[in-house]
Structures are given as structure tokens and as C-alpha cells.
Structure 1
Amino acid sequence: MLLIRSVQKIPKSLYIQSVRKISEARPDLVYQNLDGADKGIVVFGFNRPKQKNALSAGLVEQIKSALQKVTFDAQARVVVLRSLVPGVFCAGADLKERATMPREQVGLFVAGLRSLMDQICDLPVPVIGAVDGLALGGGLEMALACDIRVAASDAKMGLVESRLAIIPGAGGTQRLPRLINPAVAKELIYTARVIDGGAAYNLGIVNHVVAQNSSGDAAYLKSLDLAREILPNGPVAVRMAKRAINKGMQVDVGSGLAIEEACYAQLIPTQDRQEGLQAFNEKRKPQYTGQ
């Protein structure tokens, strides 16, 4: 981030070239725990510049390992998924790699992708997808698995699998129709249409759309702002809220209310709940510990 701020005044073409050189020297996934006032925010940076962050078998396993790490990190409060490659979030599955796979291995790979998206969706803490640039196929499916999505106005998104005579296989046919009008979701999938960030916002696919900046990271910066809004709140409460929402959406309203009740019950004995009440009475900012 310091690099971005220090080079904003140089020509955009030179900036992008410098970022690409730095990206090529980094691993496929950069895992970062922010510190200071941003402690609790974890950032996953996708970094396969030559492949446009395509989801290879190796990258999928790296993301899964990183998600597992967050699951057991008591300090983690929010995760932000972003790209370190200018102009692209994720171009989808690595089709060059897939072309070398035996037919029987393709199904296993797609099942692994589906498992990855489920793991993102089920992560105990909120996940924000920062879509700066291209998000096609599996890239959009990954964004759909996030709790909150932010897109740059010039981002390009689409479930384009029908162009390759296949269908979205990592949750796209299920998550998109649950997010927007099912008839509109069908149209987007059948036509393999690619839309920009503004259209995605109007359809309700993303929560926020922002004008892209000269650094190409406007969606990421907005995502950080959202993460900072979440940080001060009770971490156990946020986790329980996510669980109640996700589980409740899978059942009828009556069963959902029972799930909400069970999640609320887990908060009653926490130290954070007592701290929240005491801070309210003392008219001060609460200091939550996650206990």
C-alpha cells in the first residue's frame, strides 16, 4: 500500500509496469495481516499476472490453506480478497492447465473449486471481495461466495462458461439466482453476457460500485473502508450474525428463527456482551476481546 501511495504521481503506464515487475517476484497468493488500527483485517492478494490470476490447482490449494489459517486465527475479524495484478480480479479457471488434465480429473478439479467457494462462504468471519478489473467464470463465482462485494466501475464480470459448452460449476448457478431476480440470472448465464461494475450494482450483484483510480485499486480501498466499519464491533457477535444469516437462508423462516435464537444464546455469557453494556452505560467506546 505504501508503494501505491508513493508512486501515484508517475504516469499510469510506468506505474503499471512497476507493479507487474513486483508482482512477478511474489508468490501466487500473498497473505497479509494488517497492523496498527487495521489489526484484525486479513488480505488475500491474488498474484498470477501472466495467467490473469486464473485458478490453477496450486492456487486453489493455497487459498484453501489460507482460509484454514484464518479459521483458527482468533485475531482475524475480516478478510478482504483482492488482486495484486492491475486490471484483473480473476479470469476464472486456468483453462490451459485444464486442457492437460485427463477427463476423469476434470470433475475432481471442478469439485475442488466448488469446495473452495463453499469454504469462502462458510468462513466464520466476513469476507469482502474487491473486484478491480476482470472477474469471469470462476472469478465471479469466487466473488459471489463473499459476504460483501465491491466493484470498480470499469470492472468486467460474467459467468461465461456457456461459451465453452459448459456451465458454471463452482456455485454460479446457485448463488447468482439467490442474489438477484432468477430470470435475470438465467439470462446472464444463458447469454454468457459480461457486464461492468455499474450494471452489476444496478442488478444487486455488488454492494458498492466506485470510480476506478489511477492506481487501479479503488474497489480494494473501498473494501478496506468497509472492513474498518466492521472492526470495532463485537467479533463474536459478527461471527454469530454471519452464521445465523447463512444457515437461516437455507431453511424456512420458523427454522431460521430457531437458528437465530441458538446463535443469540451463545452471546449471552460472553465477556464482550458485558463490556458492550458497561461501555454504553459509561458512554465510552467498548474494548472487545472476542471472549
Structure 2
Amino acid sequence: MNALTVEARGPVLLATINRTDAHNALNAEVLDGLAEAVDRAESDPNVRSLVITGAGEKAFCAGADLKEDSTLDADAAQVKMRRGQSIMAAIENVEVPIIAAVNGLALGGGFELALACHFTVLSEKAALGLPEVGLGLIPGYGGTQRLPRAVGDATALHLILTGETLKAQRAYELGITPVPPTAPDEVVDTALAIAERIAAQGPNAVRSVLRAVRADRAISPAALATETGLISLAIAGEESSEGIAAFLEKRAPNFGAAAAKSDD
């Protein structure tokens, strides 16, 4: 079974992350599938929009695959982070509107994926957050750059440093989504309806609007490089080893012990 499926709905592509057993976590196969979906949306003149969602009712995407990440050294982690960042940048910069239909949990890389899309539609049961600091990590797919742009520095820092999870209504109030939260069984249909409405507009005008809006809002490559370097070091460090182990073992992390060990 493919980790990500893509189907054409008239002029709209629907890409579905299909790893329900792992809460639709981002592994290498999902990242590759997202890249292929974006390439198809950009290269096929018959495609006017792309909707990304998650299979099942619980999760849009629960973030990185921690079991996969826990096996990476600093160099391998940096390669994966750069790959993920390049895909998020492609999503953000493609001249075809991309909508995230967030049907459940959107945590870590899942929230970063939603932030990279042009806008989102949220289920009433959606929950969004960047909980990485609780694992001894930091956001690694552009979240340190895109969340402040969406909600302001102070709110973004509060959310990232506390790991707070936003409910759908609060995310709407903060402007993370322009659409009032919808019933869980309507979120994909709502996103598709918006995508179809956009598809009916002049395609050159749509591309021009996307280009104009991002003209002076490009994320600094240097800022992303800083994020990549820091997350790569974090993944290979004692603190994240303890944080990820605690998460997988369903216990509270002991960061004091990890810090003492790293100082030795």
C-alpha cells in the first residue's frame, strides 16, 4: 500500500497521506510522494489546485517518524531535514494553490506541512502544535520561520516553547485558517469545493496572485540553514535521545540526566 495516494478530481488533485497505523507520520516515502504530487500539480496544465489530507479520522499528519529519525546520525539527519525543507518550500512556492484539509492531529512536521500550504481548512476536531522541544528537538521543516509569519513572533514563541496544542477554533481566531472549522466528515469536501472554485478562475491570474503575494515574503535561505543545522545537532544529541526514548516508552523525559551526560 502506498504511503501517499494521489487522485484526480477534475481539475483538482487530492493527495492523501496513507499511514494510519503511524498517525500518517512523515517518513521518506511520504516526503517523496509529496514531492511527486507537487511536481505533477506544477507540470500538468490540467491541474489547477492540489488538496493534501490524511487518511482516517484521527490524524492529518502527526509529524516526523520518530522511529526512523532515532536511527539517524547528524549527517543523515541534516540530509533528511534539507529534503523536507525543500519539499515544504516547493509547496509554498508552486504556482498552483495548495490547500491542507486538516482532518485531525497536525503536530510537528504535520503542522509545518499545513503552514507551508497556501491555506488550510480545519476539522472541528483538528489539533495543531509544534511539540518538538518536549522531545529535546526543534521544528525542522521551516516551522521556526513560517509560524511567526502566520501569528507573530510572541505567539509563535509561546506555542513552540510550551509545545501547546491549538484547537481548531483557536487556530481560526489566530488567522492560521481563513475558513471556520467544519464538521470532520466535511473537511475534505469543503477543501475540494474551495479548490474547484479557484480552478474556475483565470489560471494566469491565479498564478500571478500567488507570485505577487510571495514577492517580498520569501523565507531566508540563511534562516532555514540555521534551523537545519540546529535540528541536525539536536537529533544527534543526548537530549533528543532521551526525549525520543521517553516518547516511545510512554514516560516523562529526564532531561536533567541527559544534560549531565552531555556535559561529561
TM range (shorter): 0.7 to 0.9
Q: Secondary structure at the match of 1:176?
A: helix
Matched residue, 1:222: 190
The code of the aligned residue for 1:27 comes to: N
Matched residue, 2:97: 126
Matched residue, 1:150: 121
1:166-213 deviation per Cα after TM superposition (whole angstroms, max 9, x unaligned)? 11111111111111122111100110100110110011111113242x
1:47 aligns with 2:18: yes
Matched residue, 2:175: 204
1:145-180 deviation per Cα after TM superposition (whole angstroms, max 9, x unaligned)? 011111112111101111111111111111111111
Q: Secondary structure at the match of 1:209?
A: coil
Matched residue, 1:29: 4
Question: In 1, Cα distance between the equivalents of 2:185 and 2:114?
Answer: 16
Matched residue, 2:30: 59
The code of the aligned residue for 1:247 comes to: A
TM-superposed CA distance for 1:103, in Å, is 3.0
Matched residue, 2:134: 163
Q: Secondary structure at the match of 1:247?
A: coil
The code of the aligned residue for 2:148 comes to: P
Question: In 2, Cα distance between the equivalents of 1:55 and 1:82?
Answer: 13
1:107-142 deviation per Cα after TM superposition (whole angstroms, max 9, x unaligned)? 111111111110110111000111010000000000
1:238 aligns with 2:206: yes
State the superposition RMSD in angstroms.
1.4
TM-score by length of 2: 0.80
TM-superposed CA distance for 1:248, in Å, is 3.1
TM-score by length of 1: 0.72
Question: In 2, Cα distance between the equivalents of 1:164 and 1:40?
Answer: 41
Q: 1:233 to 1:152 in 2, by over 3 A?
A: same
Instruction: Could you tell me which runs of 5 or more consecutive residues in structure 2 were left unpaired when the two chains were aligned.
Output: 220-264
Contact (CA 8 Å) 1:120, 1:146: kept in 2 or not? yes
Higher relative contact order (CA 8 A, sep 6+): 2
The code of the aligned residue for 1:170 comes to: Y
The code of the aligned residue for 2:3 comes to: D
TM-superposed CA distance for 1:218, in Å, is 2.3
Question: In 2, Cα distance between the equivalents of 1:100 and 1:249?
Answer: 35
- The structure with the larger Rg is 1
Question: In 2, Cα distance between the equivalents of 1:134 and 1:219?
Answer: 13
- 1:138 alignment partner, one of 89, 109, 132: 109
The code of the aligned residue for 1:84 comes to: A
The code of the aligned residue for 1:226 comes to: I
Matched residue, 1:186: 157
Count of aligned residue pairs for this structure pair? 219
TM-superposed CA distance for 1:231, in Å, is 1.7
Question: In 2, Cα distance between the equivalents of 1:28 and 1:209?
Answer: 29
% identical equivalent positions = 36
The code of the aligned residue for 2:116 comes to: A
Instruction: Could you tell me which runs of 5 or more consecutive residues in structure 1 were left unpaired when the two chains were aligned.
Output: 1-25, 252-291
Q: Secondary structure at the match of 1:223?
A: helix
TM-superposed CA distance for 1:236, in Å, is 1.2
- 1:70 alignment partner, one of 41, 44, 47: 41
